[in-house]
């Protein structure tokens, strides 16, 4: 009916058409401009951690590391502004007794941002290169969140010699019913120049980041301080950050997770947020039932960024799971 009414108002129709053409022209003009590198806040990693670079098959991986012992690797989720900063309030507590490694996935944080965004297999190969570098011959315990959990599962299936145990927090990437992309965003991600324009001028801006944190990142949005928003916005606005997010929106990281879950050899702990409206308990039960050696634990009323919102809860649960594994 809307377009039929437009047909009766040619002046309005022409005006909208001209406006659309103008918007696309602006997108082409500004979408191709080089983005100035944004300064990164000082709080992205704890002072006691060294920053290292691993040259992987698909580009440089920047990671933070400290401690000695068995490798304990923290993988962040995938969203605008994602980086290892997500786990920075949790992983320092494990530097005594473990070799803690917190990488930025390629395309995110301070790691290389290739123009061709990586798919799931590319990320797995790069992570395997990282594990070979930091802990040759010693399998690692992987702690992964969100869509990073799907990469951790694929890594454990393809390289069982590299993974000793999985701890998956809010692993929405493992359940097809929870990882559907909005059609409009997926379609927009395929339009050259326009997609970069929209990313830089909308998705990478503070208001969008704050809105995402309020709706999806935190269970209680009032806990999200300006420092959190500043870090996420800084990373989202880095030159080339759009390539990884646009590849994600196009579905390049999706794969048949369901067929992989039953092939998992290491034990798995699933830490599930106690927010039934966002994280249905039935979805958690399906995941645990699909994995041979899995157990489920509730992680409190938090959301995707639980490691930033309630780090004490996640630290306690992770510590308990690691000690339980040692006692087994």
Task: For the chain, give every domain's residue range.
Answer: 42-327
User: Closest Cα to residue 308, out of 74, 20, 17?
Assistant: 74
Range with top average pLDDT, 10-24, 172-186, 224-238: 224-238
For residues 72-92, give the mean pLDDT. 97
The whole-number pLDDT of residue 40 equals 62
Q: Which residues have C-beta within 8 Å of that of residue 118, sequence separation ≥ 6? A: 58, 106, 107, 126, 244, 247, 252, 253
- How large a percentage of the chain has pLDDT more than 70? 83
The whole-number pLDDT of residue 41 equals 58
For residues 281-296, give the mean pLDDT. 96
For residues 52-57, give the mean pLDDT. 97
Could you count the other beta carbons within 10 Å of the beta carbon of residue 250? 19
CATH class of 42-327: alpha beta
Tell me the pLDDT tens digit for each residue of 152-164.
999 999 999 999 9
CA dihedral 134, 140, 142, 148 (to 10 degrees): 50
For residues 66-83, give the mean pLDDT. 96
């Amino acid at each position: 009916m809307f377009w039929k009414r437009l047909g009766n108002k040619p002046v309005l129709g022409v005006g909208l058409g001209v406006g659309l053409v103008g918007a696309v022209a602006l997108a082409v003009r500004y979408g191709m401009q080089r983005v100035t590198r944004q300064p990164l806040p000082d709080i992205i990693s704890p002072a006691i951690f060294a920053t290292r670079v691993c040259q992987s098959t698909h580009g440089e991986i920047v990671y933070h590391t400290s401690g000695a012992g068995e490798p304990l690797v923290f993988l962040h989720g995938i969203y605008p502004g994602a980086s290892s900063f997500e786990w920075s309030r949790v992983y320092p507590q494990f530097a005594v007794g473990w070799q803690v490694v917190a990488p930025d996935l390629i395309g995110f944080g301070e790691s290389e941002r290739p123009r061709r965004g990586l798919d799931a297999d590319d990320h797995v190969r790069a992570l395997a290169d990282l594990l070979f570098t930091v802990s040759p011959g010693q399998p690692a315990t992987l702690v992964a969140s969100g869509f990073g959990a799907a990469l951790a599962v694929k890594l454990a299936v393809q390289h069982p010699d590299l993974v000793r145990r999985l701890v998956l927090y809010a692993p929405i990437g493992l359940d097809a019913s929870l990882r559907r992309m909005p059609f409009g965003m997926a379609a927009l991600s395929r339009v050259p120049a326009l997609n970069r324009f929209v990313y830089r001028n909308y998705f990478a801006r503070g208001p969008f980041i704050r809105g995402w944190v309020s709706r999806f990142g935190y269970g209680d949005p009032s806990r999200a301080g300006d420092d959190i928003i500043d870090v996420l916005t800084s990373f989202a606005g880095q030159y080339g950050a759009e390539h990884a997010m646009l590849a994600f929106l196009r579905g390049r990281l999706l794969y048949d997770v369901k067929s992989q879950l039953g092939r998992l050899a290491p034990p798995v702990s699933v830490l599930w947020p106690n927010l039934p409206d966002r994280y249905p308990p039935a979805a958690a039960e399906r995941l645990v039932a699909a994995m041979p050696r899995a157990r489920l634990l509730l992680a409190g009323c938090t959301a995707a960024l639980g490691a930033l919102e309630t780090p004490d809860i996640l630290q306690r649960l992770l510590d308990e799971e690691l000690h339980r594994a040692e006692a087994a």
